[in-house]
Amino acid sequence: MQFKSQAVAKPYFIAAIGLFVGQILFGLIIGLQYVIGDFLFPAIPFNVARMVHTNLLIVWLLFGFMGGAYYMIPEEAETELFSPKLALAMFWIFLVAGAATIVGYLAVPYATLAKLTGNGILETMGREFLEQPLPTKLGIVVVALAFLFNITLTVLKGKKTSISMVLLVGLWGLAVFFLFSFYNPVNVVVDKFFWWWTVHLWVEGVWELILGAFLAFVLIKTTGVDREVIEKWLYVIVTLTLITGIIGTGHHYYWIGTPEYWQWWGSIFSALEPIPFFAMTVFAFNMVNRRRREHPNKAAVLWALGTGVMAFLGAGVWGFLHTLAPVNYYTHGTQITAAHGHMAFYGAYAMVVLMMISYAMPILRGRAANSGKAQVLEMWSFWLMTTAIVFITLFLTAAGILQVWLQRASDTPLPFMAAQEKIALFYWMREWTGVVFLIGLIIYIASFFVGGKEEKAA
Amino acid sequence: MTTATLSSPTPPKRLPGDLAIWFFILAELLAFAVFFAAYAFARASHVEEFNLYQQTLDRNAGALNTLLLITGSWFVARSVQAAHRDHSAAIARNLWLGWLCGAGFLVVKGFEYAAKFGAGISLSTNTFYMFYISLTFFHFMHVLLGMVILTILWVQARKGVYGSHEANGLESGAAYWHMVDLLWIVLFPLVYVMR
């Protein structure tokens, strides 16, 4: 690696992968609970396991983003990280806080956890994805600020490239919009309105900037295409993201008690949200086709192309499927949403973090790329996990279409649970596909321990 | 002898301004196109309502604003021409005149909004007014952004950045300003006049 301090990325990446495994295990638990309702009950009820599944996802992605930033920023700024010690301290704080939170979820009832952690002082808990106890939320803010302080000062003392600027805007946005998780008004409409400022403006706003910056960085490194060309693409993608994504928030405001014009605003702007994702796909393929050199790390290039395609399919196409208000009227909160959520998160964010790890980890371990044998294994894991998520998405989409029909659109609509029983076959297929995903993940981890002739350090 | 070489009949084709600004313009046009399509879609099922409330719009103000924007675009086009001829004083002067036309547009629109909002009309009054306010407001914001861009161009022009050797930034900004104008030329007949 070019700068010693980039090494702080390594523990972040390892933690990310570890938490990823946890997320998948809990995914399998709740997938099974869909069809065997009392599986692990009362030890791990569905609502708790689901919370662990989604919270672990967010936390491992945050570890991945931070690790990616700690790796990328010194190289872009061409200077050592402002404070590697601070980065390592924050790593341990974040890891311990994250682990304690998960243990808290599993060990005591949620209401008890709320009482124990001072939810009475400032009520922030009990909302989907923002379930974290107050101390954890405060911890996230402290870690995020220390992290931003660290990388911002690094950029300020070094070279300021467009890619690091886009990454900084994305990460600062991430921190700023998280602050809305502390705002919990009594009026449930207002609550939901601002809740989306964290949830939507993360994944359909500032996180896309982080995704774009990471993708641009790895493409520069692996293809050797001129920085100016890549930066121009990045600017276009960022602009398209912001034009469509910000007012696109309105596609969550259809049925929560907000004025009717949101149905138009939300439909129109969010219908355009696939465009930046499509631009990213074209970007990735275009740059790889115009490559000026053959980078020895083929696996990283595969992840880069993969994230382009899967983000477009999962976030773009599957999002568009149910984003128009007249369609969403029927599909809101069905398995169609779950289908979209799985492929979008995997395609856009899991894959881009795995791309960063794939590119950076061999270098952090003192070689330009892993051995051919290890890369083949990693590519196997890519295909297994990616194919599995495609099928999970297809099965959930099928389940969702049936659910909409049986429960909402038919002349003789069935009650929720009656409809659920009729589509159980698809939940079983999803669960088995989930097992394939886990096998892919195990192979992914195994690829780190495979020897063979390695590419020499660049 | 020299005239023969100077007046080459087919100058090489090139894209004025930066490629990135054209992507941006196309994205903006697409967003408005979807909005216009939604307007058409909504109008189809509310023809009477749309025709009725369309009468309440101030067509004279709309026409005046059309004139202002077209004139503004003319000044900005003159500014680009001046740059190609290295007529540096005219670059900044025309940008400034273009900016004034934009400001005039905002003032006229301000009076129009004041009358409508004063009458208690809001986004939730009915579907027609929802579209009227949304479309004109999004366009209003684009005029504002266009004026910010013209201001930056003006500052640069005063520093003597632009000329026949360098017109990329000026052309990019001018292209954006023409887009703002183009959008209004579609928006005005669509929302104010056509029935």
Residue B147: which CATH number?
1.20.120.80
Residues of chain B neighbouring A259 (CB-CB closer than 8 A): 123-124
Give me the amino acid identity at A355: M
**Single-letter residue type at B139:** H
In a domain, B4, yes or no: no
Contact B183, B32 (CB under 8 A): yes
A226 at B interface, C-beta within 8 A: no
Pick from A239, A261, A272: CB nearest B24: A239
Report, as an integer, the average pLDDT of B76-87.
Answer: 96
Is the Cα dihedral B131, B137, B138, B142 positive or negative? positive
Whether pLDDT at A81 is above 50: yes
3-state class (DSSP) for residue A369? strand
- Is B153 a member of any domain? yes
B74, part of any domain: yes
**Cα separation, B86 vs B63, whole angstroms:** 34
Distance of CA B55 to the CA centre of its chain: 24
- Among partner residues A240, A243, A268, which is closest to B38 by beta-carbon distance? A268
B85 domain-assigned: yes
C-alpha A410/C-alpha A418 separation (Å) is: 14
Whether residue B30 lies inside any domain: the answer is: no
Please give the structure tokens belonging to residue B4.
């023969």
Confidence at B1, pLDDT banded by 50, 70, 90:
very low
B172 pLDDT above the threshold of 80: yes
Q: How much is the mean pLDDT over chain A? A: 96
- One-letter amino acid at A145 equals L
- Print the domain residue range for B111: 35-193
Q: Which pLDDT score, from 0 to 100, does residue B10 have?
A: 66
Quote the pLDDT of residue B2.
45
pLDDT band at B15 (very low <50, low <70, confident <90, very high): confident
pLDDT per residue as tens digits for the range B17-43 = 888 788 889 989 999 999 999 999 999
| pLDDT reported for residue A458 | 53
Does pLDDT of B4 surpass 50? no
- Lowest model confidence (mean pLDDT) among A270-279, A281-290, A426-435, B10-19: B10-19
pLDDT tens-digit profile of A97-137? Answer: 999 999 999 999 999 999 999 999 999 999 999 999 999 99
**Confidence category of residue A457, pLDDT binned at 50, 70, 90:** low
User: Which residues of chain B lie closer than 8 angstroms to A239, CB-CB?
Assistant: 23-24, 27
Q: Dihedral angle at the C-alpha atoms of B35, B39, B45, B51, nearest 10 degrees? A: 170
CA distance linking residue B134 with residue B121, whole number of Å: 12
CA distance B4 to A403: 75
For residue B13, pLDDT over 70 is answered with yes
The torsion angles phi and psi of A78, rounded to 5 degrees, stand at 55, 45
B2 within domain boundaries: no
Asked if residue B16 is part of any domain, the answer here is: no
| Of the candidates B132, B190, B34, B137, the residue with the CA atom closest to the CA atom of residue A268 | B34
Q: What is the pLDDT of residues A9-31, one digit of tens each?
A: 999 999 999 999 999 999 999 99
Is residue A437's pLDDT more than 60?
yes
- Residue type, position B162, single letter: Y
Q: Which positions ≥6 away from A119 have C-beta within 8 Å?
A: A125, A133, A134
Residues in chain A closer than 8 A to B141 (CB atoms): none
| pLDDT computed for residue A1 by the predictor | 83
Asked whether the beta carbons of residue B130 and residue A236 sit closer than 8 angstroms, the reply is no
On whether the CB atoms of residues A12 and A64 are closer than 8 A, the answer is: yes
pLDDT tens per residue across span B153-171 = 999 999 999 999 999 999 9
Q: Is the pLDDT reported for residue A199 higher than 80?
A: yes
- A227-248 and A188-201 helices, crossing angle to 10°: 170
Q: Given pLDDT bands bounded at 50, 70 and 90, which one contains residue A409?
A: very high
Longest pairwise C-alpha distance within chain A: 67
Which residues of chain B are within 8 Å of residue A240 when distances are taken between CB atoms?
23, 27
- Structural contact between residues A164 and A76, judged by C-beta atoms closer than 8 angstroms: yes
ipTM: 0.84
A264 contacts B130? CB cut-off 8 A? yes
Q: Check pLDDT > 60 for residue B8.
A: no
Which chain B residue lies closest to A229 (C-alpha atoms)? Answer: B20
Cα dihedral A288→A289→A291→A297 (10° resolution): 40
Give me the pLDDT at residue B11, please.
Answer: 64
pLDDT score of B7: 52
CA pair distance B84, A337, nearest whole angstrom: 54
Phi-psi region of A44 (alpha: psi -120 to 50; beta: other; left: phi over 0): beta
Average pLDDT for B75-88: 95
Q: Do A268 and B42 touch (CB under 8 A)?
A: no
State mean pLDDT over B32-57: 95
Chain B positions contacting chain A at CB under 8 Å are 19-20, 23-24, 27-28, 30-31, 34-35, 38, 42, 123-124, 130-131, 134
Burial A289-309 (b: 16+ CB within 10 A, else e): eeeeeebbbbbbbbbbbbbbb
Whole-angstrom Cα distance, residue B135 to residue B42?
13
Residues with Cβ within 8 Å of B173's Cβ and at least 6 positions away in sequence, in order, are B17, B21, B149, B150, B152, B153
The tokens of A452 are what?
Answer: 């063979």
**DSSP code string of B138-191:** HHHHHHHHHHHHHHHHHHHHHTT--BTTB-HHHHHHHHHHHHHHHHHHHHIIII
Across B54-61, average pLDDT: 95
Residue B20 belongs to some domain of the structure? no
Look at chain B and report how many structural domains it folds into.
1
Token pair 């795995």: residue? A354
H/E run at residue B131: helix B127-158
Model confidence pLDDT, tens digit, residues A44-74? 999 999 999 999 999 999 999 999 999 999 9
